[in-house]
């Protein structure tokens, strides 16, 4: 099979080619595994974190990609759910131990033995991949392969972030950063909490206009003040400055949820600007989001199916994987980016 692989930790700059296309052996299913022929794979900021070393793979080379849609082509012994030819999706969670206290309580995202698709095991920037059946999910028929891919991570982690925010109908929510996950969260909020006002903070003017087009009541830069304070803000940016600015925009008792695997260190001095009375006093909270559980993915696919939540996608051919990553790094974003692996 053909696959895009990362071979070293390196910065991603304009015109860079951080991945190499090479031929790898076709995977075989082990007990309880599926092999899928991949048709589409979303492009996520986490791939930038892997390549640039903020959450590097434990071994190299590695095939990145964790928003995977494909068709089952082989099943291993002891598989019980899926059959040859069914269309399934794979998210960030590749596997967990399945028997610890966290796994048994539905928090497999926090398991000590959590393995990530595209970081700890080969992912979806390839023609084929292997996945434990437990972490493959049936794709609703109404979605195209390209539409379904972002639902598996950007959508599922958005659902988890929204739950952790504690937001309820009629309150005011903020979204800091407006890429793949941000735009799906806005769609989700508007469906589930029609009385909630949403403010969007984004660096890029095109992203701000896009947010208003999708129903945000206001959009501005990170350092701008919205019309009112927020009950909760969800941050999806890779840097620290928006975190400090978001805390300033929370009401007393408000909560900031940070939805990121890692933060870049280039602007870490922004944390020195954190002023206790202005940013944290009055019982404000900061909560992190760690990974995504299998239940998050299953539930979001069901919600998206029922509510017909469709992501805005920009599709790249399989040959343009490096171009998609550079565009993402340079902030050329409108909705979600997806690689079309196979017609």
Domain of residue 115, residue span: 2-139+312-340
17 and 134 housed in the same domain: yes
Residue 269 has a pLDDT of 84
The CATH number assigned to the domain holding 276 equals 3.40.50.720
For 275-310, what is each residue's pLDDT tens digit? Answer: 888 888 999 999 999 999 999 999 999 999 999 988
Burial of 37 (0-12, 13-18, 19+ CB in 10 A): middle
Mean pLDDT of 177-182: 89
Closest C-alpha among 228, 248, 246 to residue 237: 246
131 band by pLDDT with thresholds 50, 70 and 90: very high
343 falls in which pLDDT band (50, 70, 90)?
low
Mean pLDDT of 36-51: 96
What 3 state SS string does 156-196 have?
Answer: HHHHHHHHHHCCCCCCEEEEECCCHHHHHHHHHHHHHCCCC
Say what the pLDDT of residue 331 is: 86
Task: Give the residue-averaged pLDDT of 113-125.
Answer: 98
- CATH code for the domain in which residue 48 is found: 3.90.180.10
Burial of 217 (0-12, 13-18, 19+ CB in 10 A): middle
Least confident of 66-80, 136-150, 263-277: 263-277
In a domain? residue 117:
yes
Question: Is pLDDT of 273 > 90?
Answer: no
**Domain count along the chain:** 2
Q: What is the pLDDT of residues 316-339, one digit of tens each?
A: 999 999 999 999 999 887 889 999
Residue that has been written with the tokens 């565009």 in this structure: 327
Distances (CA, A) of 218 to 227, 289, 313: 8, 25, 23
325 and 234 within one domain: no
Q: Are residues 73 and 171 in the same domain?
A: no
* pTM as predicted: 0.92
d(CA 257, CA 248): 14
Residue-wise burial string across 236-266, b where 16 or more C-beta atoms lie within 10 A, e elsewhere: bbbbbbbbbbbbebbeeebbbbbbbbebeee
What does the alpha-carbon distance between residue 130 and residue 143 come to, in Å, rounded to a whole number? 23
Across 85-95, average pLDDT: 98
pLDDT at 199 over 80: yes
């Amino acid at each position: 099979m053909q696959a895009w692989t990362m071979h070293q930790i390196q910065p991603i700059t304009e015109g860079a080619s951080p991945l190499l296309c090479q031929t790898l052996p076709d995977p075989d299913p082990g007990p309880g595994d599926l092999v899928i022929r991949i048709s589409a794979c979303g492009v996520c900021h986490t791939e930038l974190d892997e390549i640039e070393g903020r959450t590097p793979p434990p071994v190299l080379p590695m095939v990145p990609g964790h928003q995977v849609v494909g068709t089952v082509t082989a099943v291993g012994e002891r598989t019980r759910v899926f059959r040859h030819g069914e269309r399934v999706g794979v998210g960030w969670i590749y596997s967990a131990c399945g028997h610890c206290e966290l796994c048994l309580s539905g928090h497999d995202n926090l398991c000590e033995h959590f393995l990530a698709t595209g970081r700890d095991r080969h992912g979806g920037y390839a023609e084929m991949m292997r996945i434990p059946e437990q972490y493959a999910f049936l794709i609703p028929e109404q979605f195209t392969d390209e539409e379904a891919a972002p639902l598996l991570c950007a959508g599922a982690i958005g659902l988890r972030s929204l739950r952790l925010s504690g937001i309820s109908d009629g309150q005011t929510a903020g979204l800091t950063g407006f890429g793949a996950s941000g735009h799906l969260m806005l769609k989700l909020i508007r469906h589930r909490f029609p009385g909630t006002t949403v403010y969007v903070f984004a660096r890029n003017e095109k992203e701000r206009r896009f947010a208003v087009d999708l129903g945000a009541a206001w959009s501005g830069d990170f350092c701008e003040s919205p019309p009112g304070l927020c009950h909760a803000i969800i941050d999806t940016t890779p840097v620290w400055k928006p975190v400090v600015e978001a805390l300033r925009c929370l009401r007393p008792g408000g909560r900031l949820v940070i939805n990121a695997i890692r933060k870049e260190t280039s602007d870490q001095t922004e944390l020195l600007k954190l002023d206790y009375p202005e940013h944290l006093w009055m019982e404000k909270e900061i909560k992190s989001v760690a990974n995504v559980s299998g239940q998050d993915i299953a539930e979001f696919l069901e919600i998206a199916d029922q509510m017909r939540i469709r992501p805005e996608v920009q599709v790249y051919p399989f040959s343009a994987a490096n171009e998609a990553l550079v565009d993402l790094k340079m902030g050329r974003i409108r909705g979600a980016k997806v690689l079309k692996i196979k017609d």
